[in-house]
Amino acid sequence: MSELLFPKSLPEFQKLFPDDAACAVYMERVRWPKGFVCPSCETAGEPGRIATRPHVLRCKKCKKEARLTAGTVMQDSHTPLLTWFWGAYLVASLTPGIAGCSWTCLSFCYCGAAPCCRAVTSSDCCSS
Ligand SMILES: [Zn+2]
């Protein structure tokens, strides 16, 4: 699997993340870098996908849904992923002292840090 990219410019951001589906693919790779593992039954393997709900994956074994946003600041939000990505990109790219690696930590932190922005300044967040 190729390395996750951090967009270094607005045109690059727009190319990497043209829509919610592209954002969902990115989040899936952040959450399961070695491939999907069902949070309910821990079965590994390609999940079922719902075209109209790119942020939801369905375990083919137990049929339970896994939301890509579960455990993040986005989990109860109805805001489109692309909007969150824009916010994360702008904060990460415009805030002095935030390194590119914090882009992932900012919005896709699954460590339970809240508010998520605290994760940006916490060196112990998302160390995995
Ligand atoms: Zn399952």
Mean per-residue pLDDT, 65-69: 93
59 CA distance to ligand 1 centroid (A)? 4
- pLDDT tens per residue across span 6-57: 888 889 999 999 999 999 999 999 889 899 999 999 999 999 998 888 889 9
47 CA distance to ligand 1 centroid (A)? 9
Its pTM stands at 0.72
70 CA distance to ligand 1 centroid (A)? 15
Report the amino acid identity of residue 125.
C
The helix-helix angle for 81-94 and 20-31 (nearest 10°) equals 70
Residue with token string 């969150």: 84
**Rg of the chain in Å (alpha carbons):** 15
Which two structure tokens, joined as six digits, stand for 44?
């590994």
54 CA distance to ligand 1 centroid (A)? 18
68 CA distance to ligand 1 centroid (A)? 14
Confidence of residue 106 (pLDDT cuts 50, 70, 90): low
CA separation for the pair 27, 31 (Å, rounded): 6
